[in-house]
Structure 1
Amino acid sequence: MSVKLGINPIGWTNDCMAWLGDLIPLNTLLSEARAAGFSGVELGRKYPKQPKKLKSLLDRHDLTLVSGWYSARLLERDARAEIAAMADHLALMKGCGAKVMVFAETTGDIVLNVGAGFSQRPKVSSAAQWKLLGQRMTEVADYMLGQGVQMAVHHHMGTPIESQQDVDRLMENTGSAVGLLLDTGHMTVAGGDPVAVARKHAARIKHVHCKDVRRYALEACRRRDTSFSEAVLCGLFTAPGDGIVDYAKVFGILSKAGYKGWLVQEAEQDPRVANPKIYAELGNAYLRATAKAAKLRVSE
């Protein structure tokens, strides 16, 4: 099967901590991402948000817009209100040719709360609330597909959809238009097994974030119940191949399932400590080798 390799800019410039990597120019980020061998990039806070400007910028660097994070609040508002709220973001995805949108339910999230440990994250409280969330998300996903963009729900630390059990409940309560973003790092930190999630929900996986986890940092962050930002600064996340995630098994499952989307390196680190250019090169080489072993052909 054919896949493409993309990278998220948070190795260079963090989206949650606006000061982290702030002095790294956008053109440096894009140039280094392309030189490392990636053909696409996800959206970042330094990018222009006008479709023509962004597409022109990426074209100059021979890059494609892979996707872009969207913060939904479907536990608070209905599908019609969400569709209205996401109009500009959806237009940006379409205008730049992105076929998938990273879609995260963020009602009550603690991602930006530097004083809140992972244990304080919000949860979907009842079967009725799961059903309501699923109905609303399916309605939004159906609309997005009609616009030519696939929803890929991002299970993320500090949000209502975080654990392996959350993913199971979400898939049970949503229609086929709702795709899953498998984030190997977030699932590992949440105590789940990305291999098991890939195996169970392979048919629904529409996007993959390849984020690895350092074991020593994971154990320390769990003991201290750190916030998301503190965990990043502690070196919790790293490039694929540099941590404990079993990508060979994950990619093998994706290959058998006929996965044809993006494999996106997404590893937020402190660029003052972890040179983003070096980690981009290391991650790209590892992803190519591991994809090839799993019979996933990398398309440029």
Structure 2
Amino acid sequence: MSDAPALDRIRVGSAPDSWGVWFADDPRQTPWHRFLDEVAEAGYPWIELGPYGYLPTDPAVLRDELARRDLRVSAGTVFTALHRGPAVWDETWAHVAKVAALTRAVDASHLVVIPEFWRDPVTGERTEEPALTAGQFADLAAGLERLGRAVRDEFGLGIVVHPHADTHVDTEENVTRLLDATDPAVVDLCLDTGHYAYCGGDSVKLIETYGERIGYLHLKQVDPAILADVIAHEVPFGPAVQRGVMCEPPTGVPELPPVLAAAQALGTDLFAIVEQDMYPCPPDQPLPIAERTRRFLSSCGA
């Protein structure tokens, strides 16, 4: 038994990302049925959908596959480029609506919204400028508010914006700027502890300062030695992942017990979904890591 206080407001799960899944279809990735089998075997009751099309998109089929393994879904995920302005709304909504409909059909409550990368996530090739203009930032904030209202009104889901390396929502400055510029009634934050640390942020400080905006957690750690080299040589995120910058807890930063304690102190129910970016990875690598990580989180009271 753990001596750690019970974190009874934290609902722990895992995601396809922890099995090396970044795309809907890639022969180097773990097949979806193996992911479902292994995430259940590792002891996680909650999962995310991952990239749309990776898991079955027929709601009846997906519900049956989940029920067979006693799994439930916490969220779906979408990538958006709302900083490009109203011209991209129709295309964005067409994609978001598909994901949101499936998310709602499996009784999940959240939609994780990841801003578009300014570098290709695999090759690292720069596709946009790394900083937004004032007009682009205004479009991003307005677009996220519009998306939050539409997703809430049509599907009954809440959006949580995910700060991410190699996107325009990354550092403390950019994250807090976005929070200050958006309506808390329709835009919350998915705090990914690993990405925030990767970009120099302090997760505990953010939770303590903007606790009312923390709607969801991704639990992740970075290897500080690899990160220092990545930053020094301006290595893009995809190649950095292949170097192992995202590492197995508790070997990296930030320390997760203080993060979990700060989240528990908010007094609200929060999903805390484990993600360890490992794309691509050998097929037998994820399960042992997932089992060890689950035991570690249990020792923390989660």
Provide the secondary structure at the position in 1 that maps to 2:82.
Answer: coil
Following the alignment from structure 1 to structure 2, what is the Cα–Cα distance between the partners of residues 200 and 41?
A: 28
Q: Measured at CA, do residues 206 and 251 of structure 1 come closer, stay the same or move farther in structure 2, by a change above 3 Å? A: same
Deviation readout 1:118-156 (Å, 9 max, x if unpaired): 9x7632222x44333222211221222222111000011
Contact kept in structure 1, 2:84 and 2:140, CA below 8 Å: no
Deviation, structure 1 residue 40? 1.3
What's the counterpart of residue 148 of structure 1? 156
Provide the secondary structure at the position in 2 that maps to 1:156.
Answer: coil
Deviation readout 1:147-179 (Å, 9 max, x if unpaired): 211100001111111111111111111001201
Contact kept in structure 2, 1:239 and 1:266, CA below 8 Å: no
Following the alignment from structure 1 to structure 2, what is the Cα–Cα distance between the partners of residues 284 and 80?
A: 39
Q: Measured at CA, do residues 168 and 195 of structure 1 come closer, stay the same or move farther in structure 2, by a change above 3 Å? A: same
Following the alignment from structure 2 to structure 1, what is the Cα–Cα distance between the partners of residues 193 and 218?
A: 6
- Aligned residue runs from structure 1 range 121-140, under 5 A: 122-126=130-134, 128-140=135-147
Q: Could you state the TM-score of these two structures normalised by the residue count of structure 1?
A: 0.87
Q: Could you state the TM-score of these two structures normalised by the residue count of structure 2?
A: 0.87
With 138-147 and 89-98 compared, the bigger mean Cα shift is at 138-147
Following the alignment from structure 2 to structure 1, what is the Cα–Cα distance between the partners of residues 197 and 138?
A: 26
Q: Which amino acid aligns with 2:13?
A: G
Contact kept in structure 2, 1:213 and 1:244, CA below 8 Å: yes
- Note if 1:33 corresponds to 2:39: yes
**Root-mean-square deviation (Å):** 2.4
Provide the secondary structure at the position in 1 that maps to 2:83.
Answer: coil
- Note if 1:172 corresponds to 2:180: yes
- Note if 1:208 corresponds to 2:217: yes
Q: How many matched pairs?
A: 288
What's the counterpart of residue 5 of structure 2? none
Structure 1 runs of 4+ with >6 Å offset? none
Select which of 50, 63, 69 maps to 1:55. Answer: 63
Contact kept in structure 2, 1:180 and 1:205, CA below 8 Å: yes
Contact kept in structure 1, 2:85 and 2:140, CA below 8 Å: no
Q: Which amino acid aligns with 1:193?
A: D
Q: Measured at CA, do residues 246 and 259 of structure 1 come closer, stay the same or move farther in structure 2, by a change above 3 Å? A: farther
Select which of 188, 195, 215 maps to 1:186. Answer: 195
Following the alignment from structure 1 to structure 2, what is the Cα–Cα distance between the partners of residues 155 and 282?
A: 26
Select which of 248, 263, 280 maps to 2:290. Answer: 280
